[in-house]
Amino acid sequence: MSRRGLETGLSAGLLVAALGGIAWATGEPFVFPSLGPTAFVLAFRRRGARARSTRIVGGHAVGAVVGFAAYALVAPGLTLGSSLPAASPDTLRLVTSGAVSVAATSWGMVELDAVHPPACATTLIVSLGLLSTPQSVATIVASVVVLVGAHQMADAVLAEMYGDPTDAGAGS
């Protein structure tokens, strides 16, 4: 077992646990699937964190807003379920909402220099009706801001204790 793997796993888990505590205390969806890969990215690659943090928050914000717009325009009131009726207009509307949201989110992230691939999962979560209210969209963005902030605070504490973190061999 490598030290790097252990540190990455512990850090990513603690970041999600912090959001889980907020979700537990508030009853709001501060934990959602696309935050798992985001927590991993933050925990694994510590160098260049400021620029990456801006891209992470920007990417998820683009995904949440675009997903909400696609949902509101194409599939309002529908929700992805475990079984969808084959060839139904409602299923087509949900699929269209998802496809439009991924296309527009991808475009928006590139144009805004806010590329963060997990944000495409965020846009699907919203555009497929799973977290598709204005309050949920605000909670999604707040969750990402808290996640990035918690990571930056933890890095600052670790840098104070152990010196600046390095990212030797992590790739870009």
- Express each pLDDT in 8-48 by its tens digit: 999 999 999 999 999 999 999 999 999 999 999 999 876 55
Asked if residue 23 belongs to a domain, the reply is: no
How many domains are contained in the chain?
A: 1
* DSSP-based helix, strand, coil % in the chain, nearest 5: 70, 0, 30
Amino acid at 164: D
Asked if residue 29 belongs to a domain, the reply is: no
How buried is residue 9: exposed, middle or buried, by Cβ count under 10 Å (0-12/13-18/19+)? middle
Q: How much is the pLDDT for 120?
A: 98
Asked if residue 73 belongs to a domain, the reply is: yes
User: Long-range contacts: 14-19, Cβ < 8 Å, 24+?
Assistant: 14/154, 15/39, 15/42, 15/43, 15/147, 15/150, 15/151, 15/154, 18/146, 18/147, 18/150, 19/143, 19/146, 19/147, 19/150
The domain in which residue 102 lies consists of 48-162
Asked if residue 91 belongs to a domain, the reply is: yes
Asked if residue 40 belongs to a domain, the reply is: no
Query: Contact 34/101 with Cβ under 8 angstroms?
Result: no
Asked if residue 30 belongs to a domain, the reply is: no
Asked if residue 101 belongs to a domain, the reply is: yes
Asked if residue 2 belongs to a domain, the reply is: no
d(CA 169, CA 24): 37
Nearest to 51 by CA among 125, 141, 152, 164: 152
**pTM value?**
0.90
| Residue 159 pLDDT class (50, 70, 90 cuts) | confident
Q: How much is the pLDDT for 48?
A: 56
Percent of the chain scored above 90 by pLDDT?
A: 74
